[in-house]
Amino acid sequence: MSEARTYGRRRRQLPTATASHHVPAAQKDLAHPEVLSGTVVATGSGATSHGAGWDAMEKAASASGSDTYLKVTEEATVIKILSDGPFDVYNSHWIDEIEEGSKSVRCWGTPECPLCAVGDKAKRFSACFDVITLEDPETPTMKVWEAGIKIARQLKDIAIDPKRGPLNRGDLYFTIKKETKKKSVEYTLERVKERDLYEEYDVEPLSEEALRAFAAETHEWGDRVKELLDHEAMQEVVDLVTGY
């Protein structure tokens, strides 16, 4: 199912067109379960393991709405990650020529991606996790967290470390915050043990009952946060950026 979009009409100069699409090394690192641990199952149409989500790039389903996503701020937010890997991993194109609606377009991730073929490179990487945010400890809320490549690699290192992982270990929480420096934004991830939550952040650990209830609502491996545009919609975007 494609996203409904309304596009404006501006044009730009594109680099020399290329018919091939190079998957960035950053995404390759997260795309192959064999680089993780022996507990990761092989991917396939019947796979449901969140661990296999490190290879989740081109499967179906969607989630939408601005309130769906975790908003990272300058204040450290305590979160609980609900799965042992991302359920969706993808690159996206940023299309300034789109004047109405989302400017972000999910890359097809194949040599046939029309935007890649005309020289528009996918610039943004996203690894998506289900998390419980304890920003308001009285009202724990499940959100989708879209992590960039730097944080995603930190999470992968923790996930595959038998002493620190898995990410959804019962006694493991995290804090995430951002800091704006001139024109760049830096994100800081910290591990927090359950026993230290109250003393350091004045937050009570979640009960086993609450964790089970949230876990029942998580995405499955292969679910998509952002759907692929179909051929017709993608061609409209291509025409927009090339001026046709």
> Bigger pLDDT: 218 or 65?
218
Using one digit for the tens of pLDDT, what is the confidence trace for 161-180? 999 999 999 999 999 999 98
Predicted pLDDT of residue 22:
41
Residue 99 domain-assigned (yes or no) = yes
Residue 203 pLDDT > 90: yes
Within a domain: 72 = yes
**Range 27-43 average pLDDT:** 32
Give how far the C-alpha of residue 32 lies from the chain's centroid of Cα atoms, to the nearest Å. Answer: 16
Lowest mean pLDDT among 87-96, 97-106, 155-164: 97-106
Separation CA 103–CA 100 (nearest Å): 8
Looking at residue 198, its pLDDT comes to 94
The full 3-state SS of 58-110, as one line of letters, equals: CCCCCCCCHHHECCCCCCCEEEEECCCCCCEEEEEEECCCCCECCCEEECCCC
Is 7 within the bounds of a domain?
A: no
pTM for the model: 0.73
- Count of structural domains, the chain: 1
On whether residue 186 sits in a domain, the answer given is yes
pLDDT for residue 66: 53
**Is 178 inside a domain boundary?**
yes
19 occurs within a structural domain: no
217-223 average pLDDT score:
91
Let me know if residue 2 belongs to a domain. no
Task: Give yes or no for residue 45 having a pLDDT over 70.
Answer: no
Q: Is residue 5 part of a domain?
A: no
Domain that holds residue 130: 25-242
